[in-house]
Amino acid sequence: MSGSFGGWIYKNSPIPITKKPDLNDPVLRAKLAKGMGHNYYGEPAWPNDLLYIFPVVILGTIACNVGLAVLEPSMIGEPADPFATPLEILPEWYFFPVFQILRTVPNKLLGVLLMVSVPAGLLTVPFLENVNKFQNPFRRWISIYIFSIL
């Protein structure tokens, strides 16, 4: 590697790219023969990090979350009052698009047709793709299958 341009970059780089173990070192060879390996990257992860530090960090994070939830509970919504009618009765969040279509279109039949046209239009998208000889022909059927499952 010393005669190539890559070797020049490796030698003259201000940032160390990799630290390779010196296999000619007799101490390292003795450790490798015992199966211990080298420890160029600091202390080993097992058991120091995985067994002793990670559980403390995980339990500390859980304790902080539980403490914040107990000390500062957040209200999900305003309290329910069974004797007061809300100003505007709204559906659940997943019905908002359908509800808006039905509210904005004056004719109910046209609103229902518009609601049906959205999934029908999405089903036609794979068939309307620009097909050329470099395109995967099975992708269309996979997208149709995925859309039908969703």
Q: What mean pLDDT is predicted for residues 89-117?
A: 89
Average pLDDT, the chain: 77
Residue 22: how many CB atoms within 10 A of its CB? 10
Q: What mean pLDDT is predicted for residues 12-19?
A: 60
Q: How far apart are CA 140 and CA 143, in angstroms?
A: 5
At 68, the pLDDT band (50, 70, 90 cuts) reads: very high
Q: How much is the pLDDT for 122?
A: 77
Q: pLDDT at residue 49 above 80?
A: no
At 109, the pLDDT band (50, 70, 90 cuts) reads: very high
Q: How far apart are CA 31 and CA 38, in angstroms?
A: 7
**Could you tell me where the DSSP H helices lie in 35-137?**
54-71, 96-104, 108-124
